Structure 1
Amino acid sequence: MEVDLLRHGEPVGGLRYRGDGVDDPLSETGWRQMWAAVEGAPGWVRIVSSPMRRAHAFAAALAERLGIACTTDPRLREVGMGAWEGLTREQVQAADAQAFAAYYANPVVGRPPGAESLESLCLRVNAALDDLRGDGPLLVVAHAGVMRAAIARAVEGSAAAMMRIPVPYAGMTRLRRDARGWALVGHSIG
């Protein structure tokens, strides 16, 4: 089974921490990025989406255009960023430079206050991946954190290492599952 994972496009509101607590819609640029990303794409038989509107709105529109089913899976929502939700990097760094530095030095232990653990993210994304079934290629529309967790699963990487994987807006990753498990087939970096 092949699964393409597509990150949502640019949301309204500029660059800031959006986990599962801030759910801005796609900007006009974000919509254009998404449509461009799926041009000439394979014949997906079904779409599975995060329930967050910056992912789901496009997933539903694409499913309608292609005449295929679109379902949501709450396990595909973005990793919660706790107290940093809605803040820019500059705001976080100005408010607490030490916490900001700790996060970027080690995102596993330097989580923002109230943030979801990366272990929790990986467990729920792994469960969602393992539950995917289909007779043809599937599209998952989700978030950078979800895609990083999926890639880490495929390459048996650590949670700390996965946070160094660049995932651009409307970036696409392809995974394949066979008798040996998940494998990374391709990853766009912009």
Structure 2
Amino acid sequence: MSHQTTIIDLIRHGEPEGGPRFRGSQDDPLSTLGWQQMRAAIRGEDHWDVIVTSPLLRCVEFATEVATQRHLPLHVEDRLREVNFGAWEGKTTAEVIAEEGEKLSRFWEDPVANTPPGAETITEFNQRVVEGWQHWRDTLAGQRALVVCHGGVIRMILADVMGIPLQKSFAGVAVPFACRSRIRVDQSDFGILTSLHSHG
């Protein structure tokens, strides 16, 4: 087997309409500010062979714009949807604190053991994201890819790459709007070496 290097740039969507809140599966598009954040995060010298995106509007609309402008293939991956926050969907942090502040504190301390009411568990979320991530990591071997997704999704991927315990995966990694992370994957006869090269 010849040595192959894969470069995958993860980017979180910009601010959606309605501002910061527990959006999860709520399918709001990007706000005007969100479009500005995303366009500012992409540079002319960026080079990709392919784009993969979450199906949610705040990701897929921007991914489609970049793919169209740069004449790149675009793949929509349902496993890269954000975690479903259940009863917290659509609420701001202040609203959740006012209604059940202790539950929110416990979630940030250990999201594995403290699932929001009616929400997808972090274990289930992690399993589907990692399955999607590993599929595209292997499928796109030797290429350069842009993956447009969500803060929670990026946390799950970084936890997989860096061996971060799921209990620390949310509070332990900051992923602001339009944040970019670069992952390098080296495949050879000796196995696969995956490393985080930049974040922020």
TM-score, normalisation: structure 1: 0.94
Task: Say whether 1:183 aligns with 2:200.
Answer: no
- What's the counterpart of residue 161 of structure 1? 168
The one-letter code of the counterpart of 1:14 is: G
* 1:12-161 pair list within 5 angstroms: 12-20=17-25, 22-132=26-136, 133-134=139-140, 135-161=142-168
Give the deviation of 1:155 after TM superposition.
0.5
Give the deviation of 1:181 after TM superposition.
3.7
Contact 2:109 2:167 in 1 (8 A): no
The one-letter code of the counterpart of 1:6 is: I
SS at match of 1:180: strand
Q: In structure 1, which of residues 2, 8, 12 is the aligned counterpart of residue 7 of structure 2?
A: 2
The one-letter code of the counterpart of 1:15 is: P
Report runs of 4+ in structure 1 exceeding 4 Å deviation: none
Q: CA RMSD in A?
A: 1.2
- What's the counterpart of residue 174 of structure 1? 182
Q: Identity rate of aligned residues, in percent?
A: 38
Q: Distance in 2 between matches of 1:103 and 1:23?
A: 23
Q: Distance in 2 between matches of 1:58 and 1:91?
A: 29
SS at match of 1:16: coil
Give the deviation of 1:91 after TM superposition.
1.0
The one-letter code of the counterpart of 1:10 is: E
Q: Which ranges of structure 1 fall in alignment gaps of 5 or more residues?
A: none
Q: Distance in 2 between matches of 1:41 and 1:115?
A: 40
Q: 1:37 to 1:180 in 2, by over 3 A?
A: same
Q: Which ranges of structure 2 fall in alignment gaps of 5 or more residues?
A: 1-5
The one-letter code of the counterpart of 1:187 is: H
Give the deviation of 1:104 after TM superposition.
2.4
Q: Distance in 1 between matches of 2:119 and 2:179?
A: 24
* 1:116-168 deviation per Cα after TM superposition (whole angstroms, max 9, x unaligned): 11111221121112111234200100000000011111101111211120001
Contact 2:110 2:168 in 1 (8 A): no
SS at match of 1:96: helix
Q: Please identify the structure whose Cα radius of gyration is greater.
A: 2
Q: Distance in 1 between matches of 2:106 and 2:24?
A: 18
Q: Distance in 2 between matches of 1:69 and 1:3?
A: 15
TM-score, normalisation: structure 2: 0.89
Give the deviation of 1:41 after TM superposition.
4.6
